[in-house]
């Protein structure tokens, strides 16, 4: 499959009335990390994530009549306000998909978007935002031209488009666990779009993710810049091999219900991601003293209590604490009474295994 396989149609007659579509789409948390890219937003290694339930973006896309053709004409609103910075990123993305959706330059566009979670809170807002927008684009395209795709083709196309906006977004199109990047361990997996993991032991559908916020300041190095620092990284080759092996092992653990392997790989991936940042040529560190204190304590508590808890980190200082629903009461007591030490600054966000995007209009 190539990019041009997705090339779409121009309008032969201008639309006479506004036409809208709305989707809500969740964020996801990577368990095997995408870190490093090449070509047109292609990952250097496979990644595996869990789609979240409560952290999502709701996006309404409206196409309106337009008299003359030209570049993208976008009016972007985020949470009731015009947002210039994010609007520019979205315009750039829309310009990059005009071969797939040639009609984008024949209409005026309005995007209204809101999130269920706070900004800079350790939840990938680009994943939910670009997956919601990709779904809106594919639905509007299908409505305008009467395109009939089956559910799998539709999701694969939306995942492909979401990837062009933000790599991790392509994994948000599916319920539960998702792999993006070719892996020998999962047939049908691809660098171009993500695919759902079908064989999952029911215990992993009870996974909870409590995000412990230690800092909400803007990150000193963005993920996009972080990906760049993998170019020529001295450990790149070993990292790619490790990610492939971790994907294979984690898929097996998800299938068999092996919690201990899950815990080992998830923490190995979090530590690796942050080690790669520190050991890149222009090294940087996104963990904060409070991050180190809490992850150290999570490992101690696991040893002391025998509870099945582990952590992961994204490209930031905030901690995702993963555990199983049947241990919610005990784990929550530890979170509140021990891990955050009743420190008001450590805001908590409770999320869990989610069931994927929903069309809401
Ligand atoms: C550490 O998807 O935010 O969260 O493709 O440049 O938008 P862009 O990067 P992004 O990178 C995510 C990096 C990560 C790991 C992951 O989600 O797999």
- Mean confidence (pLDDT) of the chain: 94
Q: Residue 167 Cα, ligand 1 centroid: separation in angstroms? A: 6
How do residues 253-263 score in pLDDT, each as one tens digit?
A: 999 999 999 99
- Is 154 in the same domain as 97? yes
Ligand 1 pocket by Cβ (under 6 Å): 30, 33-35, 47, 124, 126, 166-168, 223-224, 227, 273, 314-315
Mean pLDDT, range 326-331, rounded to an integer: 98
Counting from 1 in the atom list of ligand 1, the atom nearest the Cα of 315 is: 1
Instruction: Assess whether 73 and 183 both reside in one domain.
Output: yes
Task: Please give the Cα distance from 162 to 173 (Å, whole number).
Answer: 9
Could you identify the atom of ligand 1 that is nearest to the CA of residue 167?
5
Ligand 1 atom closest to the CA of 49, numbered from 1: 18
Per-residue pLDDT, 240? 98
Atom of ligand 1 nearest to the CA of 227: 6
- Please tell me whether residues 226 and 313 are part of one structural domain: yes
Do 260 and 207 lie in one domain? The reply is yes
In whole angstroms, give the CA distance from residue 90 to residue 133.
Answer: 9
Number of domains in the chain: 2
Nearest alpha carbon, ligand 1 atom 5:
167
pLDDT at 337 exceeding the cut of 80: yes
Give residue 4's pLDDT band: very low, low, confident or very high (50, 70, 90). Answer: confident
pLDDT (tens digit per residue) in 113-133: 999 988 777 777 899 999 999
Ligand 1, pocket-test mutation among 223, 230, 270, 287, most atoms within 8 A of CB = 223
pLDDT at residue 102 above 90? yes
Q: What does the alpha-carbon distance between residue 356 and residue 172 come to, in Å, rounded to a whole number?
A: 7
Residue 151 covered by a domain: yes
Residues 252 and 268 placed together within one structural domain of the fold: yes
β-bridge mates for residue 177, sequence order? 50
In the block, residue with structure tokens 């994943």: 127
Q: Is residue 50 part of a domain?
A: yes
Together in a domain, 15 and 136? yes
What are the tens digits of pLDDT across the range 236-285?
Answer: 999 999 999 999 999 999 999 999 999 999 999 999 999 999 999 999 99
Of 288, 312, 314, the C-alpha closest to 222 is 314
Task: Using the mean position of ligand 1's atoms as its centre, give its distance from the Cα of residue 242 in Å.
Answer: 18
Whole-number Å distance, alpha carbon 15 to ligand 1 midpoint, is 37
* Span 287-325, pLDDT tens digits: 999 999 999 999 999 999 999 999 999 999 999 999 999
The answer for residues whose C-beta is within 8 angstroms of residue 196's C-beta and 6 or more apart is: 174, 175, 176, 177, 178
Q: Are residues 211 and 195 in the same domain?
A: no
22 and 97 part of one domain: yes
3 state DSSP class of 4: helix
Residue at which a domain ends, from 176, 200, 224 = 200
Does residue 212 form part of some domain? yes
Cα-to-centroid distance, 158 and ligand 1 (Å): 17
User: In Å, how far from its chain's centre is CA 55?
Assistant: 11
CA of 126 to the centre of ligand 1 (A): 9
Q: What is the CATH number of the domain that holds 323?
A: 3.30.70.890
CATH code for the domain in which residue 97 is found: 3.30.230.10
Q: Does residue 360 fall inside a structural domain?
A: no
Ligand 1 atom index nearest CA of 130: 7
163 and 141 co-located in one domain: yes
**Residue whose CA is at the smallest distance from ligand 1 atom 6:** 224
Please give the number of the atom of ligand 1 that sits closest to the Cα of 166: 7
What is the rounded CA–CA span in Å between residue 45 and residue 37? 8
Give the model's pLDDT for residue 346. 65
Domain end, chosen from 149, 182, 200, is at 200
359 has a pLDDT exceeding 90: yes
Ligand 1 midpoint to CA 18 (Å):
34
Q: Going by CA atoms, what residue is nearest to atom 12 of ligand 1?
A: 168
Q: Are residues 11 and 92 in the same domain?
A: yes
Same domain, 174 and 209: no
Take atom 11 of ligand 1 and give the residue whose Cα is closest. Answer: 223
Query: How far away, in angstroms, is 138 Cα from ligand 1 center?
Result: 22
Q: How far away, in angstroms, is 223 Cα from ligand 1 center?
A: 6
Which domain covers residue 290, as residue numbers?
203-352
pLDDT at 344: 59
């Amino acid at each position: 499959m190539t990019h041009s396989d997705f090339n779409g149609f121009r309008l032969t007659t201008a639309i006479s009335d506004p036409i809208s579509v709305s989707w809500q789409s969740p964020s996801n948390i990577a368990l095997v990390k995408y870190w490093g890219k090449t070509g047109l937003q292609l990952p250097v290694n496979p990644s595996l994530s869990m789609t979240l339930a409560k952290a999502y973006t709701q996006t309404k896309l409206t196409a309106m009549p337009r008299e003359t053709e030209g570049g993208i004409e976008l009016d972007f609103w985020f949470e009731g306000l015009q947002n210039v910075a994010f609007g520019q990123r979205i315009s750039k993305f829309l310009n990059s998909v005009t071969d797939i959706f040639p009609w984008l330059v024949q209409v005026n566009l309005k995007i209204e978007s809101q999130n269920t979670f706070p900004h800079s809170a350790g939840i990938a807002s680009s994943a939910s935002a670009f997956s919601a927008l990709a779904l809106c684009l594919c639905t509007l395209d299908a409505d305008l031209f009467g395109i009939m795709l089956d559910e799998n083709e539709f999701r694969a196309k939306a995942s492909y488009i979401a990837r062009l906006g933000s790599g991790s977004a392509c994994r948000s199109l599916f319920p539960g666990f998702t792999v993006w990047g070719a892996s020998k361990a999962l047939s049908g997996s691809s660098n171009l779009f993500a695919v759902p993991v079908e064989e999952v032991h029911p215990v992993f559908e009870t996974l909870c993710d409590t995000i412990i916020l230690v800092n909400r300041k803007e990150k000193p190095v963005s993920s996009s810049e972080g990906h760049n620092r993998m170019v020529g990284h001295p450990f790149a080759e070993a990292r790619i091999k490790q990610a492939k092996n971790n994907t294979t092992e984690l898929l097996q653990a998800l299938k068999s219900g092996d919690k201990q392997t899950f815990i080992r790989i998830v923490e190995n991936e979090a530590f690796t991601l942050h080690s790669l940042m520190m050991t890149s040529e222009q090294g940087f560190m996104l963990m904060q003293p409070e991050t180190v204190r809490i992850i150290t304590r999570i490992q101690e508590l696991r040893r002391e209590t025998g509870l099945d808890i582990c952590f992961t980190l994204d490209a930031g200082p905030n901690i995702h604490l993963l555990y199983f629903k049947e241990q919610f009461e005990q784990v929550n007591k530890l979170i509140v009474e021990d891990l955050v030490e009743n420190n008001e600054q450590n805001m908590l966000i409770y999320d869990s295994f989610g069931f994927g995007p929903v069309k809401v209009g």
